[in-house]
Amino acid sequence: MPNPIKPPFSEETAKVKVKMAQDAWNTCNPELVAQAYTPDSRWRRRTEFFTGREAIIQFLKRKWTKELDYHLRKELWCYAGNRISVRFEYE
């Protein structure tokens, strides 16, 4: 899934990028979500640390096997240059 929205961000493009990320996560498709991250992305979830898209995919598969009816909502918190901060909630 190509992502045409690149930094630097305006308020409008930051909001679109956040919405695209929310929509991708709500598919619960690990392969789709992982494509939004660089091949060498480093993630931390509580005490778990992992690196790379394949590790992201495996993590999300485990997560969504347990978390049925997963739904994420993201809201733009702030943006500057090449950074976006979001507030999120999920159930």
Summarised one tens digit per residue, pLDDT across range 29-60 is 999 999 888 888 889 889 999 999 999 999 99
For residue 3, the model assigns a pLDDT of 59
The helix/strand/coil state of 42 is strand
Distances (CA, A) of 68 to 28, 45, 75, 88: 10, 18, 22, 18
Confidence category of residue 73, pLDDT binned at 50, 70, 90: very high
Query: Which H or E run includes 30?
Result: helix 30-34
- Two structure tokens written together for 75: 């809201």
Does the pLDDT of residue 1 top 60, yes or no?
Answer: no
Q: What percent of the chain has pLDDT over 70?
A: 97
Q: What is the value of pTM for the model shown? A: 0.81
Does the pLDDT of residue 2 top 60, yes or no?
Answer: no
Distances (CA, A) of 60 to 2, 18, 23, 74, 84: 20, 19, 15, 17, 22
CA atoms within 13 A on the CB side of 81: 1
